[in-house]
Amino acid sequence: MEKEELEEIYNKCIEYSNKIQNPILRDVAKRVYKDYKVQLINKPATPGSHHYYAGGLLFHMYSVTRNAIGICDMYKELEVDKDLVIFGALVHDIGKCNDFNDFKDNNYEAVNGNSATLLGHSYEGTHIIENYLKDFEINEEFKNQVIHMVGSHMNEYSEWGALVLQKMLEVIIINYADSMDAYFEPAHKIIKDAKKGELYKIGNAPRPYYKSLNDYYNLQ
């Protein structure tokens, strides 16, 4: 992505942070994006599976937030804490700023050569957010809820997995929004090159998929 595009996406993330009604979460989100702006616009979201380009991390976090807000708006009857959802989506992968190197000239080394690689991005993210929360007088229950949004946004115990399984609807929304973006972002490139009426495969998907002919009236 071009620098101007990334700057626009960054500003949209700030606009999302302004939608947060809780003053503490709003302040922390803005401070995180201010302090980590350089990293966000220079790092990929993954070592090669999705959003594998400079600024991919920023665009992914923007997309997850957009998806998560859409889910909240669609299922209003759930009465989830939308502030927690927006905040959690905006910062869910912030630990990758410590865990990943920058993407430069199509050459990317997957991880930094420091102790962050021993802990993983979910742990790094909870540590980052917890440090910001120390500046505020908040009760332990609320602090744990906020940290839970980052520590459990992945869906299983694995290399990329959660520190703890989800125990709140808010983080389940983030998980689905995250998984959706991680799956469909690389898919559009593959689908574009696939031929209609033939099978194609997306990443590590367990089965191939069929590309519709999209020509129903001529099938008879």
Where are the domains positioned within the chain? 3-188
Dump pLDDT digits (tens) for 44-53.
866 666 666 7
Place of tokens 């009760």: 139
pLDDT of residue 216: 47
Average pLDDT over residues 112-133: 72
Which range is least confidently modeled, 28-32, 41-45, 136-140, 176-180? Answer: 41-45
Flag whether pLDDT at 120 surpasses 60. Answer: yes
Neighbours of 102 (CB within 10 A): 14
**Percent of the chain whose predicted confidence (pLDDT) is above 90:** 41
Flag whether pLDDT at 5 surpasses 50. Answer: yes
Which residues in 41-77 are b (16+ Cβ under 10 Å) and which e?
Answer: bbbbbbeeebbbebbbbbbbbbbbbebbbebbeeeee
CA distance 143 to 130: 8
State the Cα torsion 92-95-99-102 to the nearest 10°: 70
Average pLDDT over residues 61-86: 94
Question: Tokens representing 56?
Answer: 């991919």
Where does the pLDDT of residue 205 fall: very low under 50, low under 70, confident under 90, or very high at 90 and above?
Answer: low
Flag whether pLDDT at 24 surpasses 90. Answer: yes
Neighbours of 92 (CB within 10 A): 29
Count CA atoms closer than 13 A to 101's CA, side-chain side: 14
Whole-prediction pTM value? 0.82
Q: Which amino acid is at 17?
A: S
- pLDDT: which is higher, 176 or 52: 176
Domain 3-188 annotated CATH 1.10.10? no
